[in-house]
A and B are shown apart, each in its own frame.
Chain A
Amino acid sequence: MSVLEANHVSIRFGGVQACREVSVAVGEFEIVGVIGPNGAGKTTLFNLITGFFAPDAGTIFYKGRDVTSMAVHDRAALGLGRTFQNVGLVKGATVAENLVTAQHLQADYGTVSGMLGSRPSIATERRLRAKADALAGVLGLGDLIDTQVQGLPYGTLKRVEIATVLATDPDVLLLDEPSSGMGPEEAHQLGDTLLDLRKTFGLSIVMIEHHVPLVVRVCDYVYCLDFGQLLTEGPPLDVRNHPQVVAAYLGEDPDPAAVALEHQLDSLVEGN
């Protein structure tokens, strides 16, 4: 039984078919990778799943419910958490403020009661802050807790973002290129962190990732997109060695006629 399911979703932006009949299923406690060259429609797929776009066709099921036309914040309330390709954080705020803001739905006091400074609201605020500190500790951000987000190095921002999305108390995590801006060493550590988080928080994870060793190591299943369509799917190693995937990433074998023409041109230039 899959926790998250996209069934034949399609969306078109003007002349571009960004997603065509894409179907993805994520099982419980599974780590699923989504790979593909730039412009393949990976992030568009995330936007469809989290609700920033409504698909032209197809349905999205989450925990057995049809969420195709549900608002982003309602899906977040159901436990769908996501990160962004170029860091989705409130950069004017500190790390702690981000972590507390992300716990918006766990602040169980009324708005007015909070504005009047009622006792329960203050107690809850203290609890949220404690959780923020704990999460920062888990991701090794303890020293940065009161630092403003703007100005932190990119790799650190990615970790802050993961901490923030964990603060929303998700069941399914959609990570958009979590290892971008990280060196190989850091990316390796990130793999450990993700495996740990799955165990500690009982998460299912979907990640868009370009760093192939990371995908092979942590993912249970991989989807490869190209030009908005599903190219192939399967266990990581199979997908990595799939001829079409290799072609999509590295380009197809060159056309013999074109090669011949190039040689001709070269010799002409040399002749001069």
Chain B
Amino acid sequence: MTAVTATEVSDEERGNSQMRPAGGGRFRPSPIGWLARAVIWAGVAYLVLVVPLGQSPTDVQQFTRGVCYAVVALSLNVMLGYVGQISLGHQAFVGVGAFTSAYMVTTQGQSFWMAVFVAAAVGGAQALVLGAVSLRIRGLYFALITLSYGLVAQDNIFEIQELTGGGAGQQAPKPQWFETEWRYYYLCLAFLAIVLYVDWRMMRTKSGRALLALRENPRVASTFGINVRLATLFAFVVSGVFAGLAGALIAHNDTQVSVDVWNFNLALVFVIMTVVGGLRSRWGLVIGGAFFALLPYLIEKIPGFDELLADIPWVPRVLTPEIAPLVIGPLLLLINLIQFPGGIGQQLRPITRWLGGHRFDIHDKGPKEVQITDVRA
């Protein structure tokens, strides 16, 4: 964990923080500044909202997958980014969400909305039970418990014929009004927006601040009156709810859920995309999630990219679309660890801050990372 979070602080950053204007003189962009920002915002909105309209249904299905993975990244970020506990069993949370939703619609004849709600609730309940048992331990041991939970789920929960529909998989039709790939894409975007909003509000209220405090220093957090165990469990439940929701959205996007995709490889991809995207950076997480979801698609789609990857010397031709995230991901993770510990989010920070109406500052790398050590009282 410390390897991911600990960084060295360059002199440049140190100098920068002292130059930061203190209180009082808040920066306000000029009208031209606002216009420039509006243009970029419009460009982003065009890319996300309008461009998919001109694409084929199979392509849009991939984009929707990107949106769903963004929700998964936000879900993992709650544990990994805010609390600093790694979950290696997230594929099980997402998978159970997917099967629950499909089961509710197909076997129980419930509406899509009810199914999504139940999937999210089941995701939270799973986290509540697993967390209540395991969150008395932290760090590596917690990671091992989630890892084993993922494997247990794979061999047990996903073997329940009634829930998973056996080898044929469970059908998960798209909801009424959202039958087309395009409409369903916008529906998923709306869900992503809700998750982003909840995450944003959480981090601006007491529950989110409690998580950041206890991640860095549980002892200090407890002297602030924060119940560390309960707050950690709360974060795990929030993470589980988001994961269940993402699972349900993935299920109805694919219209069919089968057992074999929810394996440990997927859990690794989830963790990698979250870290590469950038912990504690909502922009970075969304981009990271979408990028890894679309990676197989991009490899197939971009002409010549396939051949280019095949031509990398000494590397056997392993970059099939299925394996690509697990090869490219760790490479990006290495660059990430060495050069850009804050991931994509940190690299984009000057731009995202600027878009939010702040002054453009190319050296803005966000809060300096603090080496996490338990303060000896």
- State the A residues within 8 Å of B (CB): 43, 46-47, 50, 52, 71-73, 76-77, 81-82, 84-94, 97, 100-102, 104-105, 107, 109, 111, 114-117, 121, 125, 142-148, 150-151, 165, 168, 176
Contacts and interface: CB of A to CB of B under 8 A. Distances in A.
Contacts of B376: 85-86
Contacts of B28: none
Contact of A52 (B219, B224, B370): B219
Contact of A101 (B210, B228, B375): B210
A90 B220 contact: yes
A176 B223 CA distance: 13
A104 B223 contact: no
Given A85-B377, A145-B22, A151-B368, A73 B225 contact: yes
Contacts of A50: 223
B145 to A, nearest CB: 23
Interface string B349-369: 000000000000000000111
B204 A104 contact: no
Contact of A90 (B217, B228, B234): B217
A150 B14 CA distance: 9
Contacts of A94: 367
A18 to B, nearest CB: 12
Among all A-B residue pairs, the 8 with the closest Cβ atoms: A114-B205, A76-B225, A107-B206, A88-B220, A72-B222, A105-B225, A117-B201, A91-B370
B367 A146 contact: no
Most B-side CB within 10 Å, residue of A85, A94, A115: A115
B23 A146 contact: yes
Interface in B181-221: 197-198, 201-202, 204-207, 209-210, 212-213, 216-217, 219-221
Given A104-B209, A145-B22, A91 B223 contact: no
A168 B202 contact: no
A151 B222 CA distance: 23
B234 A111 contact: yes
A91 to B, nearest CB: 4
Interface string B105-134: 000000000000000000000000000000
Contact of A125 (B204, B219, B222): B204
Contact of B209 (A85, A101, A144): A101
Contacts of A147: 17-18, 20, 22
30 contacts: A47-B377, A73-B225, A73-B227, A76-B224, A76-B225, A81-B223, A84-B220, A85-B377, A87-B375, A88-B220, A88-B375, A90-B220, A92-B367, A92-B370, A93-B213, A94-B367, A100-B209, A101-B213, A101-B224, A105-B224, A109-B206, A111-B207, A114-B205, A144-B22, A147-B18, A147-B22, A148-B367, A148-B368, A151-B14, A176-B377
A88 B234 contact: no
B8 to A, nearest CB: 12
Given A102-B224, A147-B22, A121 B377 contact: no
B88 interface: no
B287 interface: no
A40 to B, nearest CB: 15
B248 interface: no
A73 B20 contact: no
Given A88-B217, A115-B202, A73 B212 contact: no
A168 B223 contact: yes
Contacts of B377: 43, 46-47, 52, 84-85, 88, 176
Contacts of A89: 220
B265 to A, nearest CB: 32
A116 B201 contact: yes
Most A-side CB within 10 Å, residue of B221, B223, B228: B223
Interface string B9-35: 100001001101011000000000000
A92 B228 contact: no
A88 B223 contact: yes
A90 B208 CA distance: 13
B226 interface: yes
Nearest to B13: A151
B367 A73 contact: no
A112 to B, nearest CB: 9
Given A86-B375, A115-B202, A115-B205, A104 B22 contact: no
Given A43-B377, A47-B377, A116-B198, A90 B222 contact: no
Nearest to B203: A115
B20 to A, nearest CB: 7
B222 A145 contact: no
